[in-house]
Amino acid sequence: MPLRVAVIGAGRMGQGLALALSRAGAKVTLLGRRVRPVPAPLVVQVDDWAGGCREADVLLIATPDGVVPAIAERLATEQVVSARQAVLHLSGLLDRDALRALDGTSAGLGSFHPLQTVSDPAAAPERLRGAYAGIEGDGRALAAGEALASLLGMTPVRIPPGAKPAYHAGATLVANYTVVLTGMAVRLAEEAGVPTDVAAKIYLPLQHGAALNLDRLAPADALTGAIRRGDTATVAAHLAALSSADRALYAVVGLEALALSRRAGLEEGLAAEVESVLRAATGR
């Protein structure tokens, strides 16, 4: 019998996971507050949440973090969760405690956090395959998370209790801040006189190259550039060209780059010179 999954929340990640699970052979019910266009063969079910949840083996709560406890309360109040089921939310920050309203059900409780961005639900099956998923919770929730990951072609990673905020901060740096730093780089290129249409694309091959390096190497070995080679003059020139706000950000991130460079074997005399320039720019 195929795994039966109820996905509560028809946003991009909810749709994407529902589509990926459906294509992997699971029987999926997508539950939402209103009817909306979704990729075939999905449909959003709005009128019978109770039936969709009772029939499921696994319930996935794919809502914003602030709504997760309220959904757990609703499920508990409507008595649609039983001991044979597992309930997992998708938050990268929250842990099992967000589902404490369901403690009395004896269901497996925890979280399943796909470490992948999903801007287009139709592309989710391919985007999720090969990605990692952070899982936590009680034993049955962990087992359910590992089964989902296997079905989706993902690699599950167990996150220890209390560790999700730091884990999620790392995900934010890699995904969200990469986009932010790219936006900053595009702005600097435009300020340097690069045409806007070119500035929007000029750094993309460089980003792709860096990502390919990271696919093969540890960060310390993948790092290149002025700080990695101990080129204090270039670092100082960069800092001089930036506004005070941009200079502070460059310097703070630069100190992290310097730590990697030292780990990779940068000669200490050169490292100390670079550190002096960076710390002067941060004021510390």
Q: Classify residue 43 as left (phi > 0), alpha (psi -120 to 50) or beta.
A: beta
Q: How far is CA 252 from CA 10, 239, 245, 249, 259, in A?
A: 39, 11, 11, 5, 11
- What residue type is 20 in one-letter code? A
Domain ranges of the chain: 4-162, 173-282
Q: pLDDT value at position 47?
A: 85
Distance CA(149)–CA(155), nearest Å, equals 6
For the chain, 284 residues long, give each residue's pLDDT as a single digit of tens: 899 999 999 999 999 999 999 999 999 999 999 998 999 999 999 988 899 999 999 999 999 999 999 999 999 999 999 999 999 999 999 999 999 999 999 999 999 999 999 989 999 999 999 999 999 999 999 999 999 999 999 999 999 989 999 999 999 999 999 999 999 999 999 999 999 999 999 999 999 999 999 999 999 999 999 999 999 999 999 999 999 999 999 999 999 999 999 999 999 999 999 999 999 999 87
**Considering the entire predicted model, what is its pTM?**
0.90
Say if residues 9 and 28 touch (Cβ distance below 8 Å): no
Q: What CATH number labels 173-282? A: 1.10.1040
Distance CA(107)–CA(225), nearest Å, equals 51
Q: What CATH number labels 4-162? A: 3.40.50.720
